[in-house]
Structures are given as structure tokens and as C-alpha cells.
Amino acid sequence: MVWCGECYTPPQDFRFHHQAPKDEAGFEWKRPGDESRHMQARAGDHLVTPFQCDLCIFRNLKGRNPLPQDRVLMACIRQVNLDALWGRESGTVHATRRSVFQTIQMWNQVGLEPTFPSLGPYPVGDPLGYSVAIAMIVKSREKGRYEDYQQFETIRKVRAAYSNVYMCSVNGVSSLRTLGGESAKFHLNDCPTNSLWFERFTRGCLSRMGQIVKQDMAVSLRVMHAMLQLLEESWSQSRGDERRCMLLANVGAYITIAFCGSFRGPEVFLVDLFGLRKYFEMNPSYEGVDYVVIPLLGRFKGENGLAYHLTPLAAETQSGIKVKLWIKRLLEVRWQQGTRNGPAFVGWDGKPLIASGIEPDVLDLLLKVQERDHELIPKEVNVLEEYGISRSFRRGATSEARARGVKGEDVDLANRWRNYENSKGKKPRQAMKDHYSDIRLMIPALLKFSQAL
């Protein structure tokens, strides 16, 4: 079957999401020439991207001709084919087509037969990864968290899962070849999702769908103080209520550590109770500046095995955030709870806290700040959607530190504390006291970030 580019269009009875440029009011507009983007193929597409017609692909996958009940599968084949073709921009396609035409003319002038290799047919089966591509776009039609379709970052996990299983299969193991030395290696294999066609498909699919990136809104220093003021008021009213005090201590210590330490949300849950109390009782200071040491114990991204990290924070920042006070309160409620070891952040039942255990209380606190002062958090802001403990405190602290003159290298040191300690991925196994001795040499630089807040 032969197709012209303009006739090869998306399926009409089984729709897939197409991204369109929109302004803040939701009005769609396109630049000249974008009307046909992802809406039809182009002459010469088959010269830069492996191509077979829908019927051939169906026969290779199913071993028969399509029936009426195969309508959805045929629509998916058409869409993944179009996505693959749009993995290359129009300029590349047109330039290649023009060069091929000119080359054939040159051969004709000197009497040579064209020697371009055959573009098909392809063998029966699925050596290019069509079945995985089809599964990805079928999943894309499911309702997502923010839109009525799944984001590309979600559907690409289908490819990752297939690749992992393939590498464990007989074919994957037998075809695997490793190249390189000690520090860098390249793994070669025959996995269909590593084919040139699949690479084109993923590029085109991402270009068609686009990406919606929902970054957590930054918690500003003023919002941080408003949150702590609300917590302070609740603390003074909750004396004698152990359960309430435990909740407030968890939230207060969590947000001060996350903000002043520029930690990602999940990292705060790695604070070690024994180490926190040990260094707190040492009452450390440097040149008259009191500080507290935040010990994190756990498995960190990019590291193997358990690691122990110590981060010093100013006991009280320049703007008046009382880090030491909230850590003291956290230690007190843990002592009353009878907890001496393990994670510092636990619930009333003694089980370690996770994000879902504390984020609702943090968001509720932000809602109260919004109700009290619309200047701090405008009323049109959807707090439950825009804020999150994963990044809001880290983004806010980094921005505020830069605004207060903290140098870039000091901001990087605070935000890349793991890299500073973990030189070239090799971390010596030290006792905690030896680890602290090393950290003490860096305290002047490490305190600059939290002091400025």
C-alpha cells in the first residue's frame, strides 16, 4: 500500500491528546505552519524514519488480516506511526528528501543505478517495539492527576518495565554485550525498545503530547514566619495535651529543618533521633554563633547502602526562625513518648512518619496563613494543588538565600551537601564521631546558608 503524506492523518474515531499552545486564559493559538504539525505525514518521512503501512504492521503483529473488532488496534498503529514520523522535524525531512532526489539525478547523469538500500519489507514479528509503543499510547488515554490524560513521564514507565523484563529474558541475557573500562560502560543489546524506530516514536510522542510540569510553589520567608507564628499560638494553647503537642512539635521541627536546611521533603524523615539528641546536648557553637546538627541516616539517591550525613544549622536565623527551639520541643515530646532511638519523626502510634502523615497538617497550616493574610498567599492560589512538602521549602529557602546575598557556591554547598561529602562516589565508612570531626572543618561555610534566612 502506498500513501501520500497529506493523506496519512491521525485516526478519527479514537482520539489521542494533542498539545496546543495556550495563553493564561486558555486560548489556543498556533504559529504559521503549525496547522499540520502531528496532523499528517510529510513527503520524505520514510527516508529518515523506518516506515511500514498500518496493514503490514498489523499482519506482522497478529499474523492475519484485521477484522472489524480490531478497529482500536488499527487506530493505535496509525498513531504510533505518526508519532515516529514526527520524531524528526520538517526541515530535516525536506532536506533529506531533496538530497536523495539530487543524488539520484547525479547517478542518472553518469549512468549508475541507484544503490540506496531496500526500505522494506520488515520481518514478521515485532523487532522495532510497536507493541510497547501501542501500550504507551493506550495508557496515555487514562485520566491523569492534573488532566484527563496521562503525562508522558508516566507512560514512559511502560517502556522501562519492558526493558527491565527483556534484560532478564533468555534473549536479553544472550544478546547483552558490555563495552568500556572501569569508570564508564556501554551495554548493547537487541531490545526492541532500543531500536531507531522506537527512539523516533518517543520523541514524536513527547512532541505531540507535551509536558505539564507542576512545580511546588516556593514557601517565602514571610510565609514561613506566619506559619511559625500560628504554630507558636497553638503551642501556648495546647499545654497538657500531649497528643496535640506531639503533632505541633512534629510540624514545627519538620518545616524549620526542611526550610533552613534546604532539604527535599522526604529527606527530613531520615533525621536520626539518637544523633539529634546527642549533638543537641553538646550545645555546639562557632565564634559565638550557636548551631544545631541535623543527622540524617538512610539510603540516599545515587548512593549505595546506608549513609550518615550531618548538617549544621544556625540555632536562630537572622530573621528569627528558632530552629533550636523547635528541635528542643521535638526531643521533649519524643522523651515523653518513651522513644530514644530510631527516626526522629514518628506518629502517636510510634510508627515512622511518611509524607502522607505530615503533609495534610502542613497544607492546613498554609491554608490558615492564606485565610489570615491574602497578601502572603493570594486567595486565587489553590494551596492544596500549588504547595507540597517535596519541594516548596527547598525552593523557597534557595530563593530567599540568594536574595539575601548568599553566594552561589554557598547555596550550592547547602543544596549539594551529599556531593560535597561523597567525592567521586566513594564515601569512607566512619564512626559518627569521626564524621562530625570532618564536618566541623566545614561549619563556617555550611552555616552561611541557614544564618542568612
Q: How far is CA 313 from the centre of its chain?
A: 27
Of 297, 239, 268, the C-alpha closest to 357 is 268
Structure confidence by residue, pLDDT tens digits, 34-51: 778 889 999 999 999 999
Structure confidence by residue, pLDDT tens digits, 154-199: 999 999 999 999 989 988 888 777 776 666 667 778 899 999 999 9
Structure confidence by residue, pLDDT tens digits, 202-222: 999 999 888 776 677 889 999
pLDDT over threshold 60, residue 444: yes
Contact criterion met (CB below 8 Å) for 231 and 225 = no
pLDDT over threshold 80, residue 2: no
Sign, CA torsion 109/112/113/114: negative
pLDDT over threshold 50, residue 429: no
> Please, what is the Cα angle at 47 between 43 and 50, to 5 degrees?
110
Give the DSSP H or E segment for 291.
Answer: strand 289-298
28 φ, ψ (degrees, to nearest 5): -90, 135
Task: Return the pLDDT at 155.
Answer: 92
Structure confidence by residue, pLDDT tens digits, 288-317: 788 998 888 765 444 444 456 788 899 999
Domains and CATH numbers, the chain: 5-209 (no CATH), 221-452 (1.10.443)
Question: What is the rounded CA–CA span in Å between residue 225 and residue 223?
Answer: 5
Sign, CA torsion 380/384/386/391: positive
| Residue 388: band (very low, low, confident or very high) from pLDDT cuts 50, 70, 90 | confident
Sign, CA torsion 249/254/257/260: negative
Task: Return the pLDDT at 182.
Answer: 63
Sign, CA torsion 143/149/150/155: positive
SS3 403: helix
Question: What is the rounded CA–CA span in Å between residue 211 and residue 190?
Answer: 29
286 φ, ψ (degrees, to nearest 5): -140, 115
Structure confidence by residue, pLDDT tens digits, 64-105: 999 999 999 999 999 999 999 999 999 999 999 999 999 999
**Ordered strands of the 289-298 beta sheet:** 285-286, 289-298, 307-314
For cell 496547522, the residue is 35
